Structure 1
């Protein structure tokens, strides 16, 4: 396996993972111009296209050993909160992967999404389309923390192979890395915890975290999950989202995680170039697939095939 094309490439987590295991991404596409520009900065060797992949002319896209794709997850994930997953244009992006596979018939493909993707009403139809094209499917749900990412982030990975039977992948089992490894207590903009206007819910979370973990811990600034108790620095971080979610508490001060810390929490290398706008950078990070997870999956496919 030497080459790949990256569909819905976004920030480039899949492309970076491919590069880390010696697979060269020759073509990458996304509908977002900032995402394409950022991907091009980090992967200048690839051809870049900014377009809706439903409109792609696959005859103009180079063939490759593997197609990697992360179709939009926003139509599936429960992280949408009150706006629960429903049928929308985001869900239909997965059909573009079928189109690409049908035209190119690569030896392998790898599709990444949230686990709820498998609950999509059209999931079985989507799988049947891939079966009709001659692919055996190996769906697995892996946690990025098991790949050495300092963050718990479960994702479904659907591997397609042109074989009679699905391949058997060895699940990752690397030691979990604590979030303490990525936090720089000398960085960021700190503010007093007890300041005018601080939300009572935030103060309640801080008090609960102090009782459980002492003076230093992380906690979500909003949402559920570890919201009531905080989270020990000795554990991986919870899932990084497209909004600034995680705060770090240090004694009587607190701040949100910096862009660099979120980048490290996603498993991107420190030299990876991000947009200067912090909000945009975090949005891209929250939408990305952690490079070590992609790297492990691609390498596992290569070993099992």
Structure 2
């Protein structure tokens, strides 16, 4: 990558930007349709020019020159955990075409797209990849687990690296030591509640009892769902995927509480000083949609070494 100036499409909370800047790349422009996310990004990246817009309608000629395009198109239409508003999520799949439109105009040296692994199962993914090929890009998908990059969370995401090389790049990514979620939990946080209290769901009590039998008095557990939601998981390993919902509970003896935004922020790999919305729900939603900055940093550094 010769000139390391980047833009960030669907920038959200700014995980891609934070990772790129950690790798020494200057992010000069970032856009998102959600005003609160744009404001959050601007608070943390004041030297970046920001735009709040629907990127389907973007005027790519108005964006300053750059060599790197980072993009995180909407994943909800591809994810297995799609929620209830499926027609709306289906429509969001089309956001991926904004990447093609931008690349057609700017012909960046490098395009990196992040999404859920199921993005590659999209019926139009072959057409999308072919469009990038026709623009002169070799398309190289990599499925990456954030836990392998020092983030205390198992979070598998697809990073599609598009370069003007003759063949697709095969990145030599580091395999960092897995970090336990115990390093993130603030055990002296004040807002705990008693597990055995009136109104507590019997299903929740059964899951907690199962977790105690397997992990002892301290562990984490999804507050709903199947899989590890039935038993929880050890605090001495990375947590499972953090979502946009208030999902993960911390169990400590006879008390419990949900993970708090500062803990989730650290579990996503954001620095401690990173600013978030004051509203809990919006902070968690923004974090659950974010790119883990350490993963983005390792991706860009690997591209620099390989390209």
1:70 is aligned, of 62, 69, 72, to 72
Which residue does the alignment assign to 1:54? 56
Which residue does the alignment assign to 1:201? 203
Alignment TM-score, normalising by the size of structure 1 = 0.98
Structure 1 stretches of 5 or more lacking a match?
A: none
Task: Give yes or no for contact 1:76–1:85 (8 Å, CA) kept in 2.
Answer: no
Residue 62 of structure 1 and its aligned partner are, at CA, apart by: 1.2
Using the TM superposition, name which of 82-91 and 134-143 deviates more.
82-91
Residue 228 of structure 1 and its aligned partner are, at CA, apart by: 1.1
1:26 is aligned, of 9, 15, 28, to 28
1:292 is aligned, of 294, 297, 306, to 294
1:135 is aligned, of 134, 137, 155, to 137
Matches of 2:269 and 2:184 in 1, distance apart?
10
Which residue does the alignment assign to 1:184? 186
Alignment TM-score, normalising by the size of structure 2 = 0.97
Which residue does the alignment assign to 1:224? 226
Task: Give yes or no for contact 1:141–1:155 (8 Å, CA) kept in 2.
Answer: yes
1:256 is aligned, of 258, 274, 277, to 258
1:114 is aligned, of 96, 113, 116, to 116
Task: Give yes or no for contact 1:149–1:267 (8 Å, CA) kept in 2.
Answer: yes
Residue 224 of structure 1 and its aligned partner are, at CA, apart by: 2.2
SS of the residue aligned with 1:295? helix
Task: Give yes or no for contact 1:78–1:84 (8 Å, CA) kept in 2.
Answer: no
Using the TM superposition, name which of 254-263 and 222-231 deviates more.
222-231
SS of the residue aligned with 2:31? strand
Matches of 1:3 and 1:201 in 2, distance apart?
51
Matches of 1:188 and 1:138 in 2, distance apart?
47
Matches of 2:258 and 2:28 in 1, distance apart?
37
Which residue does the alignment assign to 2:90? 88
Which residue does the alignment assign to 1:149? 151
Matches of 1:58 and 1:275 in 2, distance apart?
29
Structure 1 residue 266 corresponds to structure 2 residue 296: no
Aligned residue-pair number? 305
Residue 80 of structure 1 and its aligned partner are, at CA, apart by: 1.6
Matches of 2:304 and 2:293 in 1, distance apart?
16
Structure 2 stretches of 5 or more lacking a match?
A: none
Task: Give yes or no for contact 1:3–1:24 (8 Å, CA) kept in 2.
Answer: yes
1:69-110 CA deviation, whole Å, 9 max, x = no partner?
000001000112466689722100000000000000011010
1:82-141 CA deviation, whole Å, 9 max, x = no partner?
666897221000000000000000110100000000000000000000000000011010
Matches of 2:254 and 2:187 in 1, distance apart?
13
Residue 188 of structure 1 and its aligned partner are, at CA, apart by: 4.4
